[in-house]
Structure 1
């Protein structure tokens, strides 16, 4: 059974959420670069030090909720059962996340998540930090693959391909939700796309989309 959450932990969670929602409001109103951490702290009635007790940097006021996913691919691969491939473990991880409608899959209709996504897309500093976290996730996954015997180059290539699939699928799902489709209506297509994507990884690209040779119909002049 889950352990009950202590009063102290509940208060910490409330403070964390307050800081994140206050920051989002201010960043939307005035722009990310025009709002300081001190102003977020003042608007939340806490000290600047308190903000940094919860968030390592200003960007994490927006990206902090997603940081918990950084090590999840590496953990999914490390903890997979005997007989399962790394890409098989990631397929199961993503299918579970889709079923749970987790925001990182793009299948979230939450207005708060939509606001976060828009701010990140419109703010270079947040986009850059988000890409940095994606790189961290790839590096952690590559480390696990290297531990299992893959060369450094192979581990990096495999990790990049697996996580590129995750990123592409999430963007496709989010695009459909943003244009008005419900997560539930997108879900079956999202599952099919995930299965298709990992099937491609399993088989390799091979001759897929090989351009056919052009057959010349002209004749040489004497």
Structure 2
């Protein structure tokens, strides 16, 4: 086995550990409530020690929000991938969000899968999880700001960071509105047309104020 293959194997094993521990934790949180499940109980359910658990998840909230970790630099990747084709960042981000709506990606809030709904109720119904989520969003803003700055010539990092904050806020609000409608009993199919229209309107407003990235 080469060094690269060994590193790849270790990374896959680490990823499987992340997912197994997170899944065990979320199952307990859904059953008993986030505040009522101590970290020691999660560690026992996952067959690992408490110190080992904290090596993977620095905070209890990260056991839930691990599912958002892969999306932290997603917007930045979309902007970077659009550069070779000379595609405007906002065009690429809008298309990506609309594609997510069409496939009912949970990140867009437009997903009526019962397991996803239960997860979102756990997330939005737990103040400490919502607070921790803002930390993930701040990392998304930072990564997107860097990508926007690079895409526009790298001459105004502050303007790019401000633009990133507005874009991330728009996506967050759209997703939250979609989730609220789904949680109220509407189906994803029923919500999709107005969700897509709202996304197009929101990105249109972004273009008005962020012409540099449009």
Deviation at 1:186, TM superposition (A): 1.4
Query: Comparing 8-17 with 50-59, which one deviates more in the overlay?
Result: 8-17
Q: Distance in 2 between matches of 1:80 and 1:140?
A: 15
Counterpart among 189, 195, 203 of residue 184 in structure 1: 189
Mark the runs of 5 or more structure 1 residues left unpaired by the alignment: 1-5, 206-222
Q: CA separation of 1:14/1:146 partners in 2, compared to 1, >3 Å: closer, same or farther?
A: closer
Higher helix share: 2
1:120-139 matches, cutoff 5 A: 120-139=123-142
Corresponding residue number in structure 1 for 2:5: none
Query: Comparing 70-79 with 19-28, which one deviates more in the overlay?
Result: 19-28
Q: Distance in 2 between matches of 1:55 and 1:159?
A: 27
Query: Is the 2:149–2:156 contact (alpha carbons within 8 Å) kept by the matching residues of 1?
Result: yes
Q: Distance in 1 between matches of 2:73 and 2:168?
A: 12
Q: Distance in 2 between matches of 1:184 and 1:9?
A: 37
Counterpart among 35, 38, 42 of residue 37 in structure 2: 35
Deviation at 1:15, TM superposition (A): 5.3
Q: Does structure 1 residue 168 correspond to structure 2 residue 173? A: yes
RCO comparison, higher one (Cα < 8 Å, 6+): 2
For the aligned residues, what is the CA RMSD? 2.7
Q: Does structure 1 residue 101 correspond to structure 2 residue 104? A: yes
Superposition TM-score, scaled by structure 1 size = 0.78
Superposition TM-score, scaled by structure 2 size = 0.81
Q: CA separation of 1:10/1:75 partners in 2, compared to 1, >3 Å: closer, same or farther?
A: closer
Aligned to 1:79, the other structure's residue is in SS state helix
Aligned to 1:109, the other structure's residue is in SS state coil
Deviation at 1:172, TM superposition (A): 1.4
How many correspondences in the alignment? Answer: 200
Q: CA separation of 1:91/1:61 partners in 2, compared to 1, >3 Å: closer, same or farther?
A: same
Q: CA separation of 1:45/1:135 partners in 2, compared to 1, >3 Å: closer, same or farther?
A: same
Q: Does structure 1 residue 111 correspond to structure 2 residue 114? A: yes
Q: Does structure 1 residue 86 correspond to structure 2 residue 86? A: no
Deviation at 1:155, TM superposition (A): 1.0
Following TM superposition, the consecutive aligned residue runs of length 4 or more in structure 1 with deviations greater than 6 angstroms are 6-14
Q: Distance in 2 between matches of 1:200 and 1:181?
A: 26
Deviation at 1:136, TM superposition (A): 0.6
